[in-house]
């Protein structure tokens, strides 16, 4: 299958966008500005000259060799080592970064060589220097395949650093998608919720926000949240908002939607599926992509 990569040279994109949004009087804290900001980010990324798409490759060794030559053409350093790191994943696809690092740190100009796009997008939030290549993969039928990446994908990646999707679970089991910005869902869901510690549920690092005012001694059985209680494996009364942190590091919010929560519940309600995915998690020795594991387990279940 043909695959390409998107080369992102060293850049100062975060600082540029911050200053330009100020000039346009746009704020991520203002929900009315959301669509304008997303459109602005996409337009900027599509036109940036330091973001370029490679040609198509069939052979994996050729595409990596081409990328290494691309990166090293701008770096004179004999201490470089190649690494791959997970950037982002969702229900259908995942993105990984291939980059070179100097383990001695002896040839880095920390200010001029920084790649801000790659640094704030990777799940470890590690500083990345010089250029790097971003690869896209999709998965269906439990199989991961390399795919064609576009500049619109880069816009999606950068936007998800700031805008996140969560799901509100009503007491009647109704699921409602909700978007929030930054690290504070309270701006959107309101202050009548209490944040819980992250809970690992079949590989997903779930952060829940439980509605206040409902106690275990309350006799009104209509406020029991059966769906939320099953998902979080503890008694929940009232509404609960579900968000998810990136795997392995818990350093960033990712997106979770209604279909993913429904898939998680399908597995939790099936003892055999739960055992299977836990075995898969035990065998994983690198950055976990729980979205892919769920896809794989459910496909084998059909």
The pLDDT assigned to 299 comes to 83
Q: How far apart are the first and last CA of the chain?
A: 26
Percent of the chain residues topping a pLDDT of 90: 79
- Describe the crossing of helices 258-268 and 271-283 by its angle, rounded to 10 degrees: 110
The pLDDT assigned to 221 comes to 52
The pLDDT assigned to 219 comes to 53
| Residue of 112, 132, 110, 113 whose CA lies nearest to 121 | 132
Residue 42 burial by Cβ neighbours in a 10 Å radius (0-12, 13-18, 19+): middle
Q: pLDDT (tens digit, 9 = 90+) per residue, 235-273?
A: 999 999 999 999 999 999 999 999 999 999 999 999 999
CB-based contacts of 187, cutoff 8 Å, min separation 6: 29, 180, 181
CA–CA dist 86, 171 (Å, integer): 35
CA distances from 45 to 11, 88, 213 (A): 11, 17, 45
Would the pTM count as exceeding 0.85? Answer: yes
Asked whether 292 and 139 are in contact (CB, 8 A), the reply is yes
The pLDDT assigned to 225 comes to 93
Beta-strand relationship, 193-195 and 93-102: unpaired
The pLDDT assigned to 152 comes to 97
Alpha helix segments (H runs only) across 108-195 = 116-121, 151-159, 186-189
The pLDDT assigned to 103 comes to 81
- List the chain pLDDT tens, one digit each, 302 residues: 689 999 999 999 999 999 999 999 999 989 899 999 999 999 999 999 999 999 999 998 999 999 999 999 888 777 889 999 999 999 999 999 999 998 887 777 888 999 999 999 999 999 999 999 999 999 988 889 999 999 999 999 999 999 999 999 999 999 999 999 998 899 999 999 999 999 999 999 999 999 997 655 555 555 789 999 999 999 999 999 999 999 999 999 999 999 999 999 999 999 999 999 999 888 876 788 999 999 999 986 66
């Amino acid at each position: 299958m043909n695959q390409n990569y998107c080369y992102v040279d060293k850049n100062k994109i975060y600082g540029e966008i911050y200053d330009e949004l100020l000039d346009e009087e746009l704020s991520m804290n203002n929900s009315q500005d959301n669509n304008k900001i997303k459109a602005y980010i996409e337009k900027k990324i599509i036109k940036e000259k330091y973001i370029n798409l490679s040609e198509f490759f069939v052979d994996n060794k050729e595409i990596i060799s081409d990328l290494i030559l691309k990166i090293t053409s701008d770096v004179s350093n004999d201490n470089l080592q190649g690494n791959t790191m997970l950037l982002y994943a969702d229900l259908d696809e995942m993105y990984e970064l291939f980059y070179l690092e100097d383990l001695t740190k002896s040839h880095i100009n920390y200010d001029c060589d920084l790649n801000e796009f790659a640094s704030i997008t990777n799940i470890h939030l590690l500083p990345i220097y010089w250029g790097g290549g971003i690869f896209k993969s999709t998965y269906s039928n439990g199989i991961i395949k390399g795919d064609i990446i576009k500049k619109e994908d880069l816009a999606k990646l950068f936007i998800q650093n700031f805008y996140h999707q969560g799901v509100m679970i009503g007491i009647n089991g109704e699921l409602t998608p909700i978007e929030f910005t930054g690290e504070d869902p309270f701006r959107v869901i309101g202050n009548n919720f209490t944040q819980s510690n992250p809970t690992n549920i079949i590989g997903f690092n779930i952060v829940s926000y439980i509605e206040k005012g409902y106690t275990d001694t309350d006799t009104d059985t209509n406020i029991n949240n059966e769906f939320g209680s099953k998902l979080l494996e503890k008694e929940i009364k009232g509404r609960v908002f579900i968000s998810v942190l990136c795997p392995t590091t818990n350093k960033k919010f990712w997106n979770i939607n209604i279909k993913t929560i429904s898939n998680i519940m399908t597995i939790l309600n099936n003892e055999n599926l739960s055992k299977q995915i836990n075995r898969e998690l035990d065998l994983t020795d690198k950055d976990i992509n729980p979205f892919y594991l769920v896809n794989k387990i459910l496909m084998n279940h059909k």
